[in-house]
Amino acid sequence: MNISRLSRFAAVGAVAFTAIAASTVPASAHSDKIVYLPNGRGYMKFYDNGDVFEVCDTKADGHGVTGQLWAKNQITQNGSTVFTLKDGGDKGCDKKAYDIGKLHTYSMQVEWDGDRVWHFSEWFNE
């Protein structure tokens, strides 16, 4: 009986440990990511297949949309802007290929040039 009870406690402990450990790991980039601006003004999207980033201005309102990719070193936790991508005033969206790796975690941020309020994605990596 003691062995059965001990086994149950061990199983519960393992599940709890896994849940805690999983919650501290950044999201995996095994799927596309997207950050929308309010009022349908635009978005920034990451396409996992090919590691392509896209910024789209979806309203003809005289203002463009700016997106940035941020990288944070997983060891030092130092972060910096990887690139800035702008769209507006032309047909179509602007795209940039960038191979994300495992040494950094990444976050996209996008803003409408009319209010300069940034909207952020979750942190993710390969």
Res 2 pLDDT > 80: no
pTM score = 0.74
Q: What is the pLDDT of residues 27-54, one digit of tens each?
A: 444 689 999 999 999 999 999 999 999 9
8 A C-beta contact, residue 41 and residue 92: no
Residue 40, SS3 per DSSP: helix
Round to whole Å and give the CA distance between 111 and 57: 10
For residue 111, pLDDT over 50 is answered with: yes
The share of the chain scoring above pLDDT 70, in percent, equals 76
- What's the length of the chain? 126
One-letter amino acid for residue 76 of the chain: T
Q: Domains in the chain, ordered, with CATH?
A: 29-125 (2.60.40)
d(CA 19, CA 15): 6
Residue 13 has pLDDT above 50, yes or no: no
